[in-house]
Protein backbone atom coordinates (compact mmCIF):
# COMPACT_ATOMS: atom_id res chain seq x y z
CA UNK A 1 0.00 0.00 0.00
CA UNK A 2 1.28 3.42 -0.84
CA UNK A 3 0.70 6.97 0.20
CA UNK A 4 2.15 8.23 -3.05
CA UNK A 5 0.18 9.32 -6.08
CA UNK A 6 0.42 6.86 -8.96
CA UNK A 7 2.22 7.75 -12.17
CA UNK A 8 -0.06 9.29 -14.78
CA UNK A 9 -0.97 6.95 -17.62
CA UNK A 10 -3.99 5.51 -19.41
CA UNK A 11 -3.24 1.80 -19.38
CA UNK A 12 -6.75 0.51 -18.69
CA UNK A 13 -8.23 -0.96 -21.86
CA UNK A 14 -11.84 0.09 -22.32
CA UNK A 15 -14.48 -2.08 -23.96
CA UNK A 16 -15.13 -0.82 -27.44
CA UNK A 17 -18.79 -0.91 -27.29
CA UNK A 18 -20.42 19.77 13.30
CA UNK A 19 -20.73 19.98 16.17
CA UNK A 20 -18.78 17.42 18.21
CA UNK A 21 -20.88 15.61 20.88
CA UNK A 22 -19.59 15.38 24.44
CA UNK A 23 -18.92 11.74 25.49
CA UNK A 24 -21.53 10.45 27.96
CA UNK A 25 -20.29 8.71 31.13
CA UNK A 26 -21.44 5.22 32.06
CA UNK A 27 -22.84 5.38 35.59
CA UNK A 28 -22.41 2.12 37.44
CA UNK A 29 -25.56 0.40 38.70
CA UNK A 30 -27.77 2.93 36.90
CA UNK A 31 -27.44 1.94 33.30
CA UNK A 32 -28.32 4.82 31.03
CA UNK A 33 -30.51 3.55 28.21
CA UNK A 34 -33.13 5.05 25.92
CA UNK A 35 -36.60 4.95 27.37
CA UNK A 36 -37.97 3.57 24.13
CA UNK A 37 -37.24 2.94 20.50
CA UNK A 38 -33.56 2.05 20.64
CA UNK A 39 -33.97 -1.69 20.99
CA UNK A 40 -35.63 -2.29 17.67
CA UNK A 41 -36.42 -5.75 16.51
CA UNK A 42 -34.90 -6.87 13.26
CA UNK A 43 -32.17 -5.30 11.15
CA UNK A 44 -31.45 -1.62 10.81
CA UNK A 45 -29.46 0.34 8.27
CA UNK A 46 -25.75 0.41 8.89
CA UNK A 47 -23.51 3.32 7.91
CA UNK A 48 -23.25 3.74 4.17
CA UNK A 49 -20.81 3.19 1.33
CA UNK A 50 -19.04 6.05 3.04
CA UNK A 51 -21.70 7.41 5.36
CA UNK A 52 -20.52 10.72 6.73
CA UNK A 53 -23.43 13.05 7.41
CA UNK A 54 -21.56 14.93 10.15
CA UNK A 55 -22.11 13.34 13.54
CA UNK A 56 -25.56 11.99 12.67
CA UNK A 57 -26.69 8.68 14.16
CA UNK A 58 -28.37 5.72 12.52
CA UNK A 59 -31.26 3.90 14.22
CA UNK A 60 -30.12 1.80 17.17
CA UNK A 61 -26.86 3.71 17.47
CA UNK A 62 -25.60 5.61 20.53
CA UNK A 63 -22.80 8.13 21.08
CA UNK A 64 -19.52 6.75 22.40
CA UNK A 65 -19.70 6.00 26.10
CA UNK A 66 -16.73 6.67 28.36
CA UNK A 67 -16.37 5.16 31.83
CA UNK A 68 -15.64 7.48 34.71
CA UNK A 69 -12.02 7.30 35.99
CA UNK A 70 -11.45 4.19 38.05
CA UNK A 71 -14.75 2.63 37.03
CA UNK A 72 -15.19 -0.72 35.33
CA UNK A 73 -15.73 -0.49 31.56
CA UNK A 74 -18.85 -2.67 31.87
CA UNK A 75 -22.02 -1.66 33.70
CA UNK A 76 -23.07 -4.02 36.49
CA UNK A 77 -26.41 -5.75 36.97
CA UNK A 78 -28.60 -4.46 39.78
CA UNK A 79 -31.14 -6.32 41.92
CA UNK A 80 -34.16 -4.13 42.55
CA UNK A 81 -37.35 -4.93 44.48
CA UNK A 82 -40.48 -3.05 45.50
CA UNK A 83 -44.05 -3.60 46.67
CA UNK A 84 -46.97 -2.90 44.39
CA UNK A 85 -48.83 0.21 45.50
CA UNK A 86 -52.61 0.23 45.80
CA UNK A 87 -52.83 2.66 42.89
CA UNK A 88 -50.85 0.19 40.74
CA UNK A 89 -53.09 -2.79 41.43
CA UNK A 90 -54.14 -4.52 38.20
CA UNK A 91 -51.39 -3.03 36.04
CA UNK A 92 -49.55 -5.20 33.54
CA UNK A 93 -46.25 -6.47 34.92
CA UNK A 94 -44.18 -4.85 32.16
CA UNK A 95 -45.85 -1.46 32.72
CA UNK A 96 -45.25 -1.72 36.47
CA UNK A 97 -41.56 -2.47 35.79
CA UNK A 98 -41.31 0.69 33.65
CA UNK A 99 -42.32 2.69 36.72
CA UNK A 100 -39.80 0.79 38.86
CA UNK A 101 -36.93 1.19 36.38
CA UNK A 102 -37.76 4.13 34.07
CA UNK A 103 -34.19 4.32 32.75
CA UNK A 104 -34.84 1.13 30.74
CA UNK A 105 -37.06 0.72 27.71
CA UNK A 106 -40.19 -1.35 28.02
CA UNK A 107 -38.94 -3.79 25.38
CA UNK A 108 -35.76 -4.41 27.39
CA UNK A 109 -37.78 -5.02 30.55
CA UNK A 110 -39.96 -7.46 28.62
CA UNK A 111 -36.82 -9.34 27.63
CA UNK A 112 -35.84 -9.58 31.31
CA UNK A 113 -39.25 -11.11 32.05
CA UNK A 114 -38.83 -13.62 29.21
CA UNK A 115 -35.38 -14.56 30.53
CA UNK A 116 -36.78 -15.39 33.98
CA UNK A 117 -35.21 -12.46 35.80
CA UNK A 118 -38.41 -11.23 37.44
CA UNK A 119 -39.91 -13.02 40.46
CA UNK A 120 -42.43 -12.72 43.26
CA UNK A 121 -42.37 -14.84 46.43
CA UNK A 122 -39.58 -16.89 44.80
CA UNK A 123 -41.82 -17.68 41.83
CA UNK A 124 -40.53 -16.67 38.41
CA UNK A 125 -42.92 -14.37 36.54
CA UNK A 126 -42.69 -15.00 32.79
CA UNK A 127 -45.78 -13.24 31.42
CA UNK A 128 -45.40 -9.54 30.63
CA UNK A 129 -49.20 -9.24 30.57
CA UNK A 130 -49.63 -10.69 34.05
CA UNK A 131 -51.55 -8.34 36.38
CA UNK A 132 -49.80 -7.25 39.57
CA UNK A 133 -51.56 -7.14 42.94
CA UNK A 134 -51.45 -4.49 45.67
CA UNK A 135 -48.96 -5.42 48.39
CA UNK A 136 -47.17 -7.95 46.20
CA UNK A 137 -43.37 -7.71 46.42
CA UNK A 138 -41.65 -8.11 43.04
CA UNK A 139 -37.94 -8.47 42.44
CA UNK A 140 -36.06 -7.95 39.16
CA UNK A 141 -32.45 -8.40 38.14
CA UNK A 142 -31.76 -5.33 36.00
CA UNK A 143 -29.26 -6.57 33.45
CA UNK A 144 -27.51 -3.96 31.28
CA UNK A 145 -28.75 -3.42 27.76
CA UNK A 146 -26.53 -4.57 24.92
CA UNK A 147 -26.04 -0.93 23.94
CA UNK A 148 -24.68 0.10 27.32
CA UNK A 149 -21.86 -2.45 27.17
CA UNK A 150 -21.10 -2.03 23.46
CA UNK A 151 -18.42 0.66 23.76
CA UNK A 152 -15.60 -1.38 25.27
CA UNK A 153 -12.13 -2.35 24.14
CA UNK A 154 -11.90 -5.68 22.30
CA UNK A 155 -8.96 -7.26 20.46
CA UNK A 156 -10.02 -6.69 16.84
CA UNK A 157 -7.19 -6.97 14.25
CA UNK A 158 -6.49 -3.65 12.52
CA UNK A 159 -4.74 -3.38 9.14
CA UNK A 160 -3.08 0.01 9.64
CA UNK A 161 -1.77 1.64 6.47
CA UNK A 162 -0.50 4.84 8.09
CA UNK A 163 -0.44 6.28 11.60
CA UNK A 164 0.85 9.41 13.27
CA UNK A 165 0.04 11.28 16.48
CA UNK A 166 -3.17 12.77 15.08
CA UNK A 167 -4.75 10.18 12.78
CA UNK A 168 -4.52 6.76 11.22
CA UNK A 169 -5.54 5.32 7.88
CA UNK A 170 -6.60 1.70 7.92
CA UNK A 171 -7.80 -0.94 5.50
CA UNK A 172 -11.16 -2.32 6.66
CA UNK A 173 -11.83 -5.90 5.57
CA UNK A 174 -15.21 -7.04 4.30
CA UNK A 175 -17.30 -8.46 7.12
CA UNK A 176 -16.15 -5.98 9.78
CA UNK A 177 -18.87 -3.69 11.15
CA UNK A 178 -17.60 -0.16 11.77
CA UNK A 179 -19.83 0.98 14.64
CA UNK A 180 -21.94 -0.92 17.19
CA UNK A 181 -25.63 -1.07 16.30
CA UNK A 182 -28.53 -3.48 16.60
CA UNK A 183 -27.32 -7.01 15.88
CA UNK A 184 -23.65 -6.04 16.12
CA UNK A 185 -22.90 -4.84 19.64
CA UNK A 186 -19.37 -6.26 19.78
CA UNK A 187 -16.42 -7.13 17.56
CA UNK A 188 -16.67 -3.86 15.62
CA UNK A 189 -13.98 -1.52 14.37
CA UNK A 190 -14.85 0.87 17.21
CA UNK A 191 -14.15 -1.88 19.76
CA UNK A 192 -10.80 -2.54 18.09
CA UNK A 193 -9.88 1.16 18.11
CA UNK A 194 -10.54 1.35 21.85
CA UNK A 195 -8.19 -1.60 22.39
CA UNK A 196 -5.52 -0.20 20.05
CA UNK A 197 -5.31 3.22 21.70
CA UNK A 198 -6.78 4.07 25.15
CA UNK A 199 -7.01 7.72 24.05
CA UNK A 200 -9.74 6.72 21.61
CA UNK A 201 -12.16 6.52 24.57
CA UNK A 202 -11.92 10.30 24.90
CA UNK A 203 -13.08 10.92 21.32
CA UNK A 204 -16.58 10.84 19.81
CA UNK A 205 -17.08 7.40 18.25
CA UNK A 206 -13.50 6.52 19.19
CA UNK A 207 -12.30 8.81 16.39
CA UNK A 208 -14.48 7.43 13.57
CA UNK A 209 -15.44 10.22 11.18
CA UNK A 210 -16.96 8.22 8.29
CA UNK A 211 -18.04 4.65 7.72
CA UNK A 212 -18.07 1.80 5.25
CA UNK A 213 -20.74 -0.88 4.95
CA UNK A 214 -20.04 -4.16 6.70
CA UNK A 215 -19.36 -5.96 3.40
CA UNK A 216 -17.48 -3.11 1.73
CA UNK A 217 -13.69 -3.27 2.03
CA UNK A 218 -11.12 -0.52 1.77
CA UNK A 219 -9.62 2.63 3.23
CA UNK A 220 -10.87 4.72 6.14
CA UNK A 221 -9.32 7.62 8.03
CA UNK A 222 -9.74 7.71 11.82
CA UNK A 223 -8.87 10.61 14.13
CA UNK A 224 -6.59 10.09 17.14
CA UNK A 225 -6.95 13.56 18.69
CA UNK A 226 -9.94 15.82 19.20
CA UNK A 227 -8.31 18.51 17.08
CA UNK A 228 -7.94 16.10 14.16
CA UNK A 229 -11.44 14.72 14.69
CA UNK A 230 -13.05 18.16 14.54
CA UNK A 231 -11.05 19.16 11.46
CA UNK A 232 -11.77 15.91 9.60
CA UNK A 233 -15.51 16.11 10.30
CA UNK A 234 -15.51 19.65 8.91
CA UNK A 235 -13.42 18.64 5.88
CA UNK A 236 -15.80 15.80 5.05
CA UNK A 237 -18.80 18.11 5.42
CA UNK A 238 -17.07 20.58 3.07
CA UNK A 239 -16.37 17.71 0.59
CA UNK A 240 -12.63 18.22 0.89
CA UNK A 241 -11.89 14.54 1.59
CA UNK A 242 -11.71 12.64 -1.71
CA UNK A 243 -12.81 9.00 -1.82
CA UNK A 244 -12.75 6.66 -4.78
CA UNK A 245 -14.03 3.12 -5.11
CA UNK A 246 -13.86 0.29 -7.57
CA UNK A 247 -16.94 -1.84 -8.13
CA UNK A 248 -18.02 -4.77 -10.28
CA UNK A 249 -21.62 -4.66 -11.43
CA UNK A 250 -24.12 -6.57 -13.51
CA UNK A 251 -24.70 -5.41 -17.08
CA UNK A 252 -22.49 -3.90 -19.75
CA UNK A 253 -21.74 -0.27 -18.99
CA UNK A 254 -21.31 2.70 -21.29
CA UNK A 255 -17.58 3.58 -21.28
CA UNK A 256 -16.59 6.91 -19.79
CA UNK A 257 -17.81 9.19 -17.02
CA UNK A 258 -21.40 9.80 -16.06
CA UNK A 259 -22.65 11.84 -13.13
CA UNK A 260 -25.42 10.34 -11.02
CA UNK A 261 -27.23 13.14 -9.20
CA UNK A 262 -30.23 11.55 -7.53
CA UNK A 263 -31.48 12.24 -3.97
CA UNK A 264 -31.42 9.36 -1.50
CA UNK A 265 -33.64 8.59 1.47
CA UNK A 266 -35.02 5.60 3.32
CA UNK A 267 -37.03 3.22 1.19
CA UNK A 268 -40.65 3.72 2.30
CA UNK A 269 -41.31 0.01 1.73
CA UNK A 270 -38.26 -1.43 3.52
CA UNK A 271 -36.48 -0.09 6.60
CA UNK A 272 -33.20 -1.81 5.67
CA UNK A 273 -32.94 -0.24 2.21
CA UNK A 274 -32.23 3.19 0.82
CA UNK A 275 -33.94 4.46 -2.33
CA UNK A 276 -34.05 7.38 -4.73
CA UNK A 277 -36.80 9.60 -3.35
CA UNK A 278 -37.70 13.15 -4.25
CA UNK A 279 -37.59 14.24 -0.59
CA UNK A 280 -34.20 12.62 0.03
CA UNK A 281 -30.82 14.25 0.62
CA UNK A 282 -28.66 15.46 -2.23
CA UNK A 283 -26.50 12.56 -3.40
CA UNK A 284 -23.90 12.82 -6.16
CA UNK A 285 -21.65 10.07 -7.54
CA UNK A 286 -19.34 10.22 -10.56
CA UNK A 287 -19.14 6.78 -12.16
CA UNK A 288 -16.60 5.77 -14.81
CA UNK A 289 -17.09 2.45 -16.62
CA UNK A 290 -13.63 0.96 -17.07
CA UNK A 291 -14.48 -2.15 -19.05
CA UNK A 292 -17.27 -4.65 -19.77
CA UNK A 293 -17.39 -8.33 -20.62
CA UNK A 294 -19.79 -11.21 -21.17
CA UNK A 295 -19.95 -14.06 -18.67
CA UNK A 296 -20.80 -17.43 -20.13
CA UNK A 297 -23.92 -18.83 -18.47
CA UNK A 298 -24.44 -22.36 -17.27
CA UNK A 299 -26.08 -24.92 -19.52
CA UNK A 300 -29.41 -23.53 -20.64
CA UNK A 301 -28.70 -20.13 -19.08
CA UNK A 302 -27.85 -17.20 -21.39
CA UNK A 303 -24.64 -15.26 -20.95
CA UNK A 304 -24.77 -12.06 -18.95
CA UNK A 305 -22.83 -8.83 -19.03
CA UNK A 306 -20.66 -7.52 -16.21
CA UNK A 307 -18.76 -4.28 -15.90
CA UNK A 308 -15.94 -2.75 -13.85
CA UNK A 309 -16.46 0.74 -12.44
CA UNK A 310 -14.51 3.52 -10.80
CA UNK A 311 -16.76 5.64 -8.54
CA UNK A 312 -15.99 8.97 -6.97
CA UNK A 313 -18.17 10.28 -4.13
CA UNK A 314 -19.19 13.91 -3.83
CA UNK A 315 -21.56 13.14 -0.96
CA UNK A 316 -21.50 10.25 1.50
CA UNK A 317 -25.00 8.89 1.93
CA UNK A 318 -25.86 5.47 3.26
CA UNK A 319 -25.49 2.84 0.49
CA UNK A 320 -24.94 5.65 -2.03
CA UNK A 321 -22.86 3.84 -4.67
CA UNK A 322 -24.92 0.68 -4.35
CA UNK A 323 -28.21 2.49 -4.94
CA UNK A 324 -26.90 4.84 -7.63
CA UNK A 325 -25.39 2.09 -9.79
CA UNK A 326 -28.49 -0.09 -9.30
CA UNK A 327 -30.59 2.86 -10.51
CA UNK A 328 -28.66 2.72 -13.80
CA UNK A 329 -29.45 -0.97 -14.15
CA UNK A 330 -26.07 -2.03 -12.74
CA UNK A 331 -26.55 -3.58 -9.28
CA UNK A 332 -23.30 -4.72 -7.72
CA UNK A 333 -22.30 -8.35 -7.90
CA UNK A 334 -23.21 -10.06 -4.65
CA UNK A 335 -25.45 -7.19 -3.49
CA UNK A 336 -28.70 -9.08 -2.94
CA UNK A 337 -30.29 -6.13 -1.13
CA UNK A 338 -30.32 -4.07 -4.32
CA UNK A 339 -30.90 -6.72 -6.96
CA UNK A 340 -27.42 -8.20 -7.39
CA UNK A 341 -26.50 -11.87 -7.24
CA UNK A 342 -23.40 -13.96 -6.68
CA UNK A 343 -21.02 -14.16 -9.64
CA UNK A 344 -17.28 -14.44 -10.30
CA UNK A 345 -16.94 -16.17 -6.95
CA UNK A 346 -18.23 -13.16 -4.99
CA UNK A 347 -20.75 -13.67 -2.21
CA UNK A 348 -20.62 -10.09 -0.91
CA UNK A 349 -21.11 -6.74 -2.63
CA UNK A 350 -18.28 -6.06 -5.06
CA UNK A 351 -17.23 -2.68 -3.69
CA UNK A 352 -13.81 -1.54 -2.45
CA UNK A 353 -12.63 1.89 -1.23
CA UNK A 354 -9.41 1.97 -3.24
CA UNK A 355 -8.15 5.52 -2.78
CA UNK A 356 -8.42 8.19 -0.08
CA UNK A 357 -6.92 11.68 -0.18
CA UNK A 358 -7.12 14.69 2.12
CA UNK A 359 -5.11 17.56 3.57
CA UNK A 360 -3.60 16.57 6.90
CA UNK A 361 -5.80 18.28 9.52
CA UNK A 362 -2.88 19.34 11.74
CA UNK A 363 0.37 19.17 9.79
CA UNK A 364 -1.07 20.36 6.47
CA UNK A 365 -0.01 18.98 3.10
CA UNK A 366 -1.82 16.54 0.85
CA UNK A 367 -1.97 12.85 1.79
CA UNK A 368 -2.94 10.25 -0.81
CA UNK A 369 -3.40 6.57 0.08
CA UNK A 370 -4.28 3.57 -2.08
CA UNK A 371 -5.26 0.03 -1.14
CA UNK A 372 -4.81 -3.22 -3.06
CA UNK A 373 -7.88 -5.30 -3.75
CA UNK A 374 -8.58 -8.08 -1.24
CA UNK A 375 -8.21 -11.63 -2.62
CA UNK A 376 -11.90 -12.21 -3.47
CA UNK A 377 -12.23 -8.99 -5.46
CA UNK A 378 -8.80 -9.38 -7.03
CA UNK A 379 -9.78 -12.82 -8.38
CA UNK A 380 -13.07 -11.47 -9.74
CA UNK A 381 -11.31 -8.44 -11.25
CA UNK A 382 -8.80 -10.68 -13.03
CA UNK A 383 -11.63 -12.71 -14.59
CA UNK A 384 -13.34 -9.56 -15.82
CA UNK A 385 -10.54 -7.21 -16.81
CA UNK A 386 -7.59 -9.53 -17.36
CA UNK A 387 -3.92 -8.78 -16.91
CA UNK A 388 -4.16 -5.61 -19.02
CA UNK A 389 -6.27 -3.94 -16.34
CA UNK A 390 -4.35 -4.59 -13.16
CA UNK A 391 -5.47 -2.51 -10.23
CA UNK A 392 -2.31 -0.36 -10.36
CA UNK A 393 -3.50 0.77 -13.78
CA UNK A 394 -6.83 1.79 -12.29
CA UNK A 395 -5.06 3.94 -9.71
CA UNK A 396 -3.01 5.54 -12.49
CA UNK A 397 -6.23 6.16 -14.40
CA UNK A 398 -7.63 8.01 -11.38
CA UNK A 399 -4.69 10.41 -11.48
CA UNK A 400 -5.08 10.86 -15.22
CA UNK A 401 -8.75 11.79 -15.04
CA UNK A 402 -8.69 13.98 -11.92
**Interatomic CA distance for residues 67 and 74, integer angstroms:** 8
180's CB contacts (< 8 A; 6+ apart) are 61, 62, 147, 150, 151, 186, 188, 190, 191
Is the separation of the CB atoms in 323 and 300 below 8 Å? no
Distance CA 177, CA 207 (A): 15
| Catalytic-role residue among 49, 94, 197, 213 | 213
> Catalytic: 213?
yes
Q: For residue 401, what are the CA distances in angstroms to 241, 255, 331, 394, 395?
A: 17, 14, 24, 11, 10
Within a 10 A sphere around the Cβ of 56, how many other Cβ atoms?
11
CB 59 within 8 A of CB 45: yes
**Active centre residues (catalytic):** 213
Amino acid sequence: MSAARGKRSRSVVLDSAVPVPVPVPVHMNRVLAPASGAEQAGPVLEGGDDSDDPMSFQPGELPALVAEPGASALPESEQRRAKVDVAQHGQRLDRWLVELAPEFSRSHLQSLIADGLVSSAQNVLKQASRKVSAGEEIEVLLRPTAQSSAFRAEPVPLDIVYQDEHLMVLHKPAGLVVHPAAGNWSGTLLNGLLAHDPRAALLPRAGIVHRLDKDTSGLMVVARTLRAHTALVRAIAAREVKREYVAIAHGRGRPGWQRIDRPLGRDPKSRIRMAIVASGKESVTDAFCLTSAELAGETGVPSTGVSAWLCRLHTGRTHQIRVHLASLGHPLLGDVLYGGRSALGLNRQALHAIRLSFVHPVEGGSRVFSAALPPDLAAAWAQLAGAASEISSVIATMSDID
